[in-house]
Amino acid sequence: MDKVYAIITGDVVNSRGIDPEARKKLYADFDVFLKASKKEWLKSFEVYRGDSFQCEVRKPTNSLRVALMIRAFFKAYLTAAEKKQRGKRGASLKGYLNARFDIRLSVGIGQVDFINKNKVSTSDGEAFQLSGEGLDLLKGLGQKLGLKTFDSAFNEQITPIVLLLDALIEKWTQNQAEIILYKLEDWKDEEIAEKLSISPSAVTQRKKTAQWNAIEKTVTYFEKTMQNLIK
């Protein structure tokens, strides 16, 4: 089939309710995160209106993984004051910090008419329309994760799975989201433990409570199925 693209459109949840200084730092750190992601996961991205963004995923097969990485980044995010509270040895060893930030994301997968690499939001085509329309739908439904492809049969299969993922993500603590982000980026448990200055057993426990096994299997299923669809 013709070339397929994956577009993610998103907006920060309750951005006006975030303290201006914290919001400024959050947006700056998100920009750094997106730039770092271009090395492996993204082709291009654009942040606009401060709290909205759109990106083209490098490989459509990775689009769900990338969306989950972005959600995990926001759920794991700590303000400067919260980082001080957390202390020098990583997310509190005796308890968890609640996630305070989130982002609404819609993945659209399909063909495109044209892409403006320097200003992604001015591009158009099926993938952009699916992504943009999906974001509007999420706002009305009160959900924060959606995904729609060019294949109606696959959409019927994946939609309830994405709904379950969204419900699961809602329950992540900051610590759990942080672990999931590293796992989605293919970090080994030992590397995560060293990075966060926690024990390997703590990594294992946080993976378990965040339902990493279910997330990993879902992402793998999506990537294999999508690969077959776009051959």
CA gap 114, 224 in Å, rounded = 27
| pLDDT given for residue 96 in this prediction | 63
What is the full per-residue pLDDT of the chain (231 aa) written as tens digits?
A: 679 999 999 999 989 899 999 999 999 999 999 999 998 999 999 998 878 999 999 999 999 999 999 999 999 998 877 777 666 544 444 446 777 899 999 999 999 998 887 788 888 999 999 999 999 999 889 899 999 999 999 999 999 999 999 999 999 999 999 999 999 999 999 999 999 999 999 999 999 999 999 999 999 999 999 999 998
Tokens describing residue 195 = 């990075």
pLDDT tens across 71-92, in order? 999 999 988 777 776 665 444 4
Spell out the domains of the chain, with CATH numbers in brackets.
5-229 (3.30.70.270)
Strand order in the sheet with 103-110: 42-48, 52-57, 5-12, 103-110, 145-149
**What's the confidence (pLDDT) of residue 231?**
80
* Distance (Å) of CA 173 to CA 121, 138, 168, 169: 32, 22, 11, 9
Strand (E) or helix (H) holding 52: strand 52-57
| C-alpha to C-alpha distances, 45 to 13, 88, 99, nearest whole angstrom | 19, 33, 25
Express each pLDDT in 58-74 by its tens digit. Answer: 999 999 999 999 999 99
The mean pLDDT of the chain is 91
